[in-house]
Structure 1
């Protein structure tokens, strides 16, 4: 996923360098103090307003996708569009309003037209494995909602392409006698995040497990579950600290990169809960709880507020991913004790929204800047509001 690795990850192993395209040519808006320490008790009506505000300032009705910022100059990153599509589906599920069903359909059409009709063999549109996998997960959700087989078929073909290479027989990498097809290491397990196989990363590993279990649940084909359990077993040994619940960002030739990111904690939680539900193995649920505890105790501030990821880059969307899967732990894992923590984060973010535009910000502890902001950094609290029920006033 270019948004993290082109900016923050530098690992030297035989001169291997994995980095992320984060910074813009211009610095992001300044972050000011929050003397009022605003917090409210958000309502279901607020969740609708927050989502409508997000769409008003970032959605392109012509492209049927989302701009990267309030300047409305360029369409945002390909993988983030999948997260925004998830938001439309969640808004539809929450409200059952037809306008959000139409928006869900429109976003799919916008992506279909822009990304070569989801031609997974197109290595210009799809040049990193995890960019594909985020869409594959979203496609499984779209099928679950609509039962439209086009979504399921695209999810299945995309899943196979990521793991085992292009269906047209071409190679992802062929250099110096090395021939690679797909992300999956069939010998040692685990998945590489890029076509050149420079490292095995959480951003592809745990989303692949999530997609695999989703496909198993939708099709009943046990091969998906077998792949998920095998990859998970490798990942617990290679991308996870069993003592404290911390999820590593990457593993390059056996060396773990211990950068903390909420989406890695989140996708690990999601993969664990899904496997728990599919197998009734309590060990998976225990892992999810440990990862949630680490996020709360080691990554949040003393007030339990999640970190302000996304300094003018795509990382602003990471908490949206975390929020989805911690809510899965709460609802499907039966861990209601985490709900007040998530509600507290949403209340703080919504209380600190831009008073004129109603936009939320990546840093929940400060008032949203009034100038140009990115869709990435405005998205996470809105996304969580579509999933998290309001607390009692």
Structure 2
């Protein structure tokens, strides 16, 4: 396929845009300035997009989707629109993942405006959905929200964020963990399948709760969850299957976010149980993702089955990059992850947005807020290491 040639943004242009952004963080940019940059694939040895571009990517995302809509106690509340047409707010779990993306960007850039927006978005979650999410039948939704809260707490030290994470995790554990199938958390209150999408993020959340509270019970729950996943969903080749039904049959295959969250859980668990093989399993999952799920150039797959899938590889990017940083695997994986970050940015649209298909240009006409988290998470993720 012939890939079209687009204008190249110079470092001077990037710098100019960033200086402009100091006055108005939700940037307005001319169409020509942010056109896609390459006339072909970049190489697997790509360097990271510069840090100013990672920050710019987050600012462009906020410019497209961020909506501040009122006061909340002493500060403000906000939410992300679901798409560029501003047809409504993102739904619960996607909103939580978009807030995790701004947390990623803050972690990489230490930008005060991003920290403030993160707080206002968290306030918007409280305002719209309350403090305890018992009415949500999807245990994975609740866990994504709790994980967002505990990561926000790590930045702000706000006890309300820690309490929201703790109370919602505890609620899911009480209603979703049982010994059928040897353990594991049920995906929904209907208890028909036990899924990676609730179990692996719950293990991550539990480990962060242990770090925040000192309650060893959370660490032990994380180990129980991961050990169950190893026995039921993990394959020795490095695949992490998506779900098992009540009869013990695997019903969903491997996805980038099942891979990424399992990597994240193993990465955090390893220091507490160094003889448990968790780091070794995380390496196998990284290798499987790189060698068996990507194309010949190493590009992560499109996951466009439905709108719920389109942000999956942003979740992979988050935890894969943290694993590389935590355990010093830059030599093994940095070039591959940098390549994906560079490709996402190369094919951005005229507003600096990147959809989840990192091999051709992002449309100017329509994108949704979930698919466009992928590139932002990837670009800021590589600045973790």
TM-score bracket, normalised by the shorter chain, equals 0.7 to 0.9
For residues 358 and 378 of structure 1, the distance between their equivalents in structure 2, rounded to whole angstroms, comes to 10
Deviations along 1:62-83, whole A, 9 cap, x unmatched? 2711111111112112101111
1:76 correspondence with 2:81: no
- The equivalent residue for 1:52 is 59
1:270 correspondence with 2:264: yes
Counterpart secondary structure, 1:251: strand
CA contact (8 A) 2:103 2:115 kept: yes
1:120 shift after superposition = 2.3
1:129 correspondence with 2:126: no
Counterpart secondary structure, 2:250: strand
For residues 155 and 131 of structure 2, the distance between their equivalents in structure 1, rounded to whole angstroms, comes to 20
- The equivalent residue for 2:374 is 380
- The equivalent residue for 1:88 is 102
- The equivalent residue for 2:120 is 106
1:144 shift after superposition = 1.3
1:390 shift after superposition = 9.6
CA root-mean-square deviation: 1.9
CA contact (8 A) 1:78 1:131 kept: yes
Match of 1:36 among 23, 32, 39: 39
- The equivalent residue for 1:18 is none
- The equivalent residue for 2:333 is 338
For residues 206 and 253 of structure 2, the distance between their equivalents in structure 1, rounded to whole angstroms, comes to 25
Question: How does 1:1-393 map onto structure 2 within 5 Å?
Answer: 36-39=39-42, 42-62=49-69, 64-115=78-129, 117-121=130-134, 123=135, 126-164=136-174, 182-186=175-179, 188-242=182-236, 244-252=237-245, 253-281=247-275, 283-311=277-305, 313-336=307-330, 337-354=332-349, 356-389=350-383
Structure 1 residues 312, 366: CA separation in 2 closer, same or farther (over 3 Å shift)? farther
Structure 1 residues 383, 239: CA separation in 2 closer, same or farther (over 3 Å shift)? same
For residues 257 and 223 of structure 1, the distance between their equivalents in structure 2, rounded to whole angstroms, comes to 31
1:342 shift after superposition = 0.5
Give the unaligned 5+ runs of structure 1.
Answer: 1-33, 165-181
For residues 179 and 163 of structure 2, the distance between their equivalents in structure 1, rounded to whole angstroms, comes to 24
For residues 258 and 159 of structure 1, the distance between their equivalents in structure 2, rounded to whole angstroms, comes to 24
Structure 1 residues 152, 108: CA separation in 2 closer, same or farther (over 3 Å shift)? same
Instruction: Compare the two structures and name the one with the higher helix fraction.
Output: 2
CA contact (8 A) 2:185 2:194 kept: yes
1:193 shift after superposition = 0.3
Q: TM-score, normalised by structure 2?
A: 0.83
Deviations along 1:253-274, whole A, 9 cap, x unmatched? 2111342210000011011111
After alignment, is 130-139 or 382-391 more displaced? 382-391
For residues 258 and 225 of structure 1, the distance between their equivalents in structure 2, rounded to whole angstroms, comes to 27
CA contact (8 A) 1:260 1:299 kept: no
What count of residue pairs does the alignment treat as equivalent?
335
For residues 328 and 290 of structure 1, the distance between their equivalents in structure 2, rounded to whole angstroms, comes to 16
Give the unaligned 5+ runs of structure 2.
Answer: 1-36, 70-76
1:311 shift after superposition = 4.8
CA contact (8 A) 1:44 1:390 kept: no
1:94 shift after superposition = 2.2
Q: TM-score, normalised by structure 1?
A: 0.81
CA contact (8 A) 2:207 2:218 kept: yes
Deviations along 1:265-287, whole A, 9 cap, x unmatched? 00110111111022223600000
CA contact (8 A) 2:342 2:379 kept: no
Counterpart secondary structure, 1:57: helix
